[in-house]
């Protein structure tokens, strides 16, 4: 392989981190025996790539190179720390481990990542800890990005992830896909993980791009894997419906200048109609369960948008009713915010603004940029432009995604004339 420039190596390693982290870590856990050892070994492998790929050239299959390097490092760490290893969680019993075909296990599950998800989503952990730990380990998100997804300070999230790892150690949680009898109690946490993987990719918490395509695609892929694993579970069907219906609008979210286009002004001919048809079919299956679950209700809201011929034809009363049902089954400040926005389009911007203002004292929304942005939009529609400018400026301060910041700057320029 020809020698590579340092800039090429840095770009290749960054790309491999986005694309391959989950594969590399999940495969390394199989030989490491515990999460901390695996994570350290994978981090060492990426560091080694930075120094090795320059003189030796970038490998044709970076993920395979990183996996081999990380697994060798993990085995070396186990040999050198046999005493410490006894105090760490044994995710694989010795008789369970065998070097099966890469990417498959003895039960036919198509990806080691599912083993890692079910390990992190053990019922011994609190649900928010399950989601946070899997986002950190499976997707390689920084603690700061995970914290943004939860609307929490970074220090709080770091402590939560550490406690979750220690709980896995204390409980000796096995690294495997659960037996059929255990799946029911485990599936809700897994669905939450997959949903947050997708949503974190759909709108990246920070960075230059609106999306993290690798995460969005990974979330969609994981949802499809769960569908194969649990073909008769209506909550799984509902999650896949939600992801597919949301992802169907991907092609219209940016204009030719890579600037953000809100749904109100999107070119709906760019929406993926076959994906919408697939999502609606999955939703019908999911709604056969009574009462409908939270993912089915969110998918139904997405379907109302996707099946509307234009923004003006959107049935906001139906969306408002669905948010009311969602508040009954899964209340949260973000759902309250989305309901307030729906109310603003169903009953007028004054009604929506009143609901948004009532949420101003909600601690979890104190640094949530979409609350300020929604207030700014309704204030603009009401002609209260000075107040709208202040709200847009607040949203701009709170937003870390550069594409969204560009949209907010454009709205501010429009208001200042």
The 10 Å Cβ neighbour count of residue 167 is 17
pLDDT surpasses 50 at 260: yes
Q: Which residue has the tokens 């200042």?
A: 416
Are the C-beta atoms of 95 and 56 separated by less than 8 Å?
A: no
Mean pLDDT, residues 358-380: 95
pLDDT surpasses 60 at 85: no
Mean pLDDT, residues 70-80: 89
Give how far the C-alpha of residue 11 lies from the chain's centroid of Cα atoms, to the nearest Å: 23
pLDDT of residue 19: 80
The 10 Å Cβ neighbour count of residue 88 is 19
The domain boundary, picked from 57, 88, 119, lies at: 88
> Is 316 buried (19+), middle (13-18) or exposed (0-12) by CB count in 10 A?
middle
Higher-confidence position of 251 and 175:
251
Higher-confidence position of 289 and 310:
310
Mean pLDDT, residues 212-217: 86
For the record, the structure tokens of 61 come out as 């299959």
pLDDT surpasses 70 at 412: yes
Cis peptide before 42 (omega within 30 of 0): no
pLDDT surpasses 90 at 31: no
Mean pLDDT, residues 5-18: 87
DSSP state of 178: P
Most confident of 30-34, 102-106, 135-139, 341-345: 341-345
- Reported confidence tier of residue 33, pLDDT bands at 50, 70, 90: confident
Averaged confidence pLDDT in the chain: 87
Residue 359: inside a domain = yes
Q: Within 13 Å, how many C-alpha atoms sit on residue 335's CB side?
A: 19
Residue 100: inside a domain = no
37-46, 52-61, 107-116, 120-129: which range is least confident on average?
107-116
User: What domain range includes position 70?
Assistant: 6-88
In this structure, the dihedral spanned by the alpha carbons of residues 353, 355, 361 and 364, taken in order and rounded to 10 degrees, is -100
pLDDT of residue 400: 93
Mean pLDDT, residues 373-401: 97
Percentage of the chain exceeding pLDDT 70: 91
pLDDT of residue 128: 78
- Nearest-CA neighbor of 35 among 126, 156, 122, 103? 122
pTM attached to this predicted model:
0.76
The domain boundary, picked from 60, 88, 116, lies at: 88
Collapse the DSSP code of 180 into the 3-class scheme (helix H, G, I; strand E, B; otherwise coil) and give the result. helix
Residue 405 sits in a domain of what CATH number?
1.25.40.10
The 10 Å Cβ neighbour count of residue 343 is 22
59-68, 143-152, 188-197: which range is least confident on average?
143-152
Mean pLDDT, residues 384-409: 97
pLDDT of residue 183: 73
Higher-confidence position of 20 and 179:
20
pLDDT surpasses 70 at 229: yes
Most confident of 96-105, 209-218, 295-304: 295-304
Residue 280: inside a domain = no
Are the C-beta atoms of 121 and 130 separated by less than 8 Å?
A: yes
Percentage of the chain exceeding pLDDT 90: 53
Residue 365: inside a domain = yes
pLDDT surpasses 80 at 8: yes
56-65, 80-89, 309-318, 325-334: which range is least confident on average?
80-89
Are the C-beta atoms of 236 and 227 separated by less than 8 Å?
A: yes
Residues composing the chain: 417
The domain boundary, picked from 59, 88, 117, lies at: 88
Q: Distance between CA atoms of 13 and 207, rounded to whole angstroms?
A: 17
Q: Name the domain count of the chain.
A: 2
Residue 76 sits in a domain of what CATH number?
1.10.1740
Residue 260: inside a domain = no
- Reported confidence tier of residue 90, pLDDT bands at 50, 70, 90: low
- Reported confidence tier of residue 272, pLDDT bands at 50, 70, 90: very high
Per the rule left: phi > 0, alpha: psi between -120 and 50, beta: everything else, 383 is left
Residue 385: inside a domain = yes
Mean pLDDT, residues 274-279: 98
pLDDT of residue 68: 93
Residue 237: inside a domain = no
Handedness of CA 74, 79, 81, 84 (dihedral sign): positive
pLDDT of residue 99: 39
- Those residues whose C-beta lies under 8 Å from the C-beta of residue 379, and which sit 6 or more positions away, are 349, 353, 385, 387, 388, 391
The 10 Å Cβ neighbour count of residue 284 is 12
Residue 259: inside a domain = no
């Amino acid at each position: 392989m020809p020698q590579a420039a340092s800039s090429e190596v840095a770009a290749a390693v960054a790309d491999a981190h986005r694309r391959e982290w989950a594969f590399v870590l999940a495969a390394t856990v199989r030989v490491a025996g515990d999460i901390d050892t695996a994570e350290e070994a994978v981090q060492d492998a990426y560091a080694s790539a930075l120094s090795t790929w320059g003189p030796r050239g970038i490998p044709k299959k970076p993920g395979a190179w990183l996996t081999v390097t990380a697994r060798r490092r993990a085995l070396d760490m186990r040999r050198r720390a046999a005493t410490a290893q006894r105090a760490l969680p044994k995710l694989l019993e010795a008789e369970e481990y065998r070097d099966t075909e890469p990417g498959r296990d003895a039960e036919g599950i198509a990806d080691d990542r599912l083993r890692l998800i079910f390990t992190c989503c053990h019922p011994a952990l609190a649900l928010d800890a399950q989601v946070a730990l899997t986002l950190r380990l499976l997707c390689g998100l920084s603690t700061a990005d995970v914290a943004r997804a939860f609307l929490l300070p970074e220090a709080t999230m770091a402590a939560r992830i550490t406690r979750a790892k220690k709980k896995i150690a204390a409980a000796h949680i096995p690294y495997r896909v659960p037996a059929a009898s255990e799946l029911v109690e485990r599936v809700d946490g897994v669905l939450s993980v997959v949903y947050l993987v997708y949503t974190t990719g759909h709108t990246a918490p920070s960075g230059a791009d609106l999306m993290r395509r690798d995460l969005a695609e990974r979330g969609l892929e994981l949802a499809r894997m769960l569908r194969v694993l649990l073909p008769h579970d209506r909550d799984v069907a509902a999650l896949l419906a939600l992801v597919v219906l949301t992802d169907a609008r991907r092609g219209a979210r940016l204009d030719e200048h890579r600037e953000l286009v809100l749904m109100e002004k999107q070119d709906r001919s760019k929406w993926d109609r076959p994906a919408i048809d697939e999502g609606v079919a999955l939703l019908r299956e999911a709604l056969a369960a009574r009462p409908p679950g939270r993912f089915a209700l969110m998918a139904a809201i997405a379907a109302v948008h996707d099946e509307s011929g234009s923004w003006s034809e959107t049935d906001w009363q139906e969306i408002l009713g669905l948010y009311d049902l969602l508040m009954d089954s899964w209340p949260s400040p973000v759902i309250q915010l989305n309901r307030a926005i729906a109310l603003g389009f169903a009953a007028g911007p004054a009604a929506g603004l009143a609901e948004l203002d009532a949420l101003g004292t909600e601690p979890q929304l104190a640094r949530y940029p979409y609350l300020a942005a929604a207030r700014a939009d309704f204030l603009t529609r009401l002609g209260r432009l000075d107040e709208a400018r202040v709200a847009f400026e607040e949203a701009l301060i709170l937003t870390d995604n550069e594409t969204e910041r560009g949209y907010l700057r454009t709205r501010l320029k429009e208001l200042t004339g």
